[in-house]
Structure 1
Amino acid sequence: MAWMCSGSTNSELVDNLQDAGIITSKWVISAMRRVDRAHFSRHNPYEDSPQSIGFGATISAPHMHGYALEHLQEYLQPGMSALDVGSGSGYLVACMAAMVGKNGHVVGIDHIPELVQNSQVALEQHYLDWVKSGRVKVVTGDGRKGYAADGPYDCIHVGAASPKTPVELIAQLKSPGRLFVPVGNVSQQVIVYDKDSKGDVTEKKVMGVIYVPLTDPEKQLY
């Protein structure tokens, strides 16, 4: 039924996601209205399905971004910090930045330099004040190792499937903090890892998914 959430405009898309009950938080709804997917996806930006952004990568379907933001919204409050692994187009980085506000900080990391450059251009073109203030930035690197330089983070989102529990990312969570990540090879589940104030970690399986795997640039491109 997810495809039924498609729209002809960004506003219509968000309305449909809201009507379907996929997004309910006022923070998420506001962010997805503020950030137009067409700024980051040239092809069918309002269609509720993954779209190619080149270099063997895709921008996830809008309903998956909605689910991710809903599960992370408690950790995307004003002034908080977030990391988006496999940031690709930069769309979710911008949504997160809209949620954490002027005192928050969001980092997107991707291992394809061209994707990082493209997302940087989109962010500078449409959200220049966020870039200049340091609210948002994108970097090139191996997201499987996180980005410790700006950590720890209130939350981390991963846009590709990890073959196993991503312990390096969990280590970069604050206490408390939350990680939203697809895990598995053939059979994949989105798992939410919660680190409590004592540093203890619990996990919860959220839904079955099909994501491209977290990998290195050579395997992704070829």
Structure 2
Amino acid sequence: MAWRSHGRTNDELVDNLYRNEIITEHRVARAMKSVDRANYVAMKEPSIDPYQDSPQPIGYGATISAPHMHAHCLQELSRWFVPGAKVLDVGSGTGYLTALFAEMVTPDGVVVGVDHVDELVRASRENFHRGAFESRRFPANLSAHKLLAAGEVILATADGRNGWPGRAPYDAIHVGAASPSIPEALIEQLAPGGRLIIPVGREHEGQTLKAVDKGAFAFTLVPDGNVYEKTLMGVLYVPLCDKAHQLRRS
């Protein structure tokens, strides 16, 4: 039922994702209802509907993934979203999924979103600062401003293929663009017992969404020092590439 969960409002979109069993965990649905997707989608074009279950262009050769793909990734990582967890979002774009991660792991955890297009990083900060991140779980005085000021949410310009070593290791890493192979830096920055979600494959070719567990034999949190890969589904993402190549796509 992917691609068929459109709604007229954010709540209706999430309800349809739940009804179509893309979302199966209540805490994932609650997080997605707390972060309105419309605040993270460029609304200048009248044809863009933020509650359409499809990817949307955000400029600079980038897109924001379809809501059902965000829901899938949240489901696959939800077990790692515990109090105090550290999360890295590679290719954070306008900050939507970064905000969802923050909803699920702060105030005790840390979420880092990185993108190599500075204009998108600035836009993501504006999205946070204008109050687009409005949690129904947190008290009113715990605003996006406070999360950013306290360093519990970090939005930075960087080449995501190199991760963000400053706050490593991470309990969970999400990559929002397809890489021909899994960057070694991201595996190195994954904590023992952590999980990495990444689309793997070349641009315009077959790609697969993979879960990479570090020190998790048979996908249980047993830190044995090895890395295990699991293929989740076929996907089609924009490439995880250098900034110049991405801008040529725009």
RMSD across aligned positions (CA): 1.0
Structure 2 unaligned residues grouped into runs of 5+: 132-143, 216-222
Q: Distance in 2 between matches of 1:170 and 1:25?
A: 27
Pick the aligned partner of 2:149 from 112, 116, 132. Answer: 132
Provide, for residues 98-154 of structure 1, a one-character-per-residue CA deviation record: whole Å limited to 9, x for no partner: 000200100000000000000011011113232223221210010001001111100
Percent identical residues = 51
User: What TM-score do you get using the length of structure 1 for normalisation?
Assistant: 0.97
Contact in 1 for aligned 2:2/2:22 (Cα 8 Å) = no
Q: Distance in 2 between matches of 1:135 and 1:25?
A: 25
Counting only pairs closer than 5 Å after superposition, residues 145-164 of structure 1 correspond to structure 2 as: 145-164=162-181
1:104 maps to 2:109: yes
1:71 maps to 2:71: no
Q: Distance in 2 between matches of 1:133 and 1:25?
A: 29
1:52 aligns with: 57
Pick the aligned partner of 1:207 from 230, 233, 241. Answer: 233
User: What TM-score do you get using the length of structure 2 for normalisation?
Assistant: 0.87
One-letter code of the match for 1:39?
N
Q: Distance in 2 between matches of 1:193 and 1:2?
A: 23
Provide, for residues 51-98 of structure 1, a one-character-per-residue CA deviation record: whole Å limited to 9, x for no partner: 011111110000000000000001112210100000001000000000
Counting only pairs closer than 5 Å after superposition, residues 70-89 of structure 1 correspond to structure 2 as: 70-89=75-94
1:119 maps to 2:124: yes
1:173 maps to 2:190: yes
Counting only pairs closer than 5 Å after superposition, residues 7-46 of structure 1 correspond to structure 2 as: 7-41=7-41, 42=43, 43-46=48-51
Bigger radius of gyration among the two: 2
Q: Aligned to 2:4, what secondary structure does the other structure show? A: helix
Count of aligned positions: 222
2:140 aligns with: none
One-letter code of the match for 2:122?
Q
One-letter code of the match for 1:221?
L
Q: Aligned to 1:4, what secondary structure does the other structure show? A: coil
The runs of 4+ residues in structure 1 deviating greater than 3 Å are: none
1:191 aligns with: 210
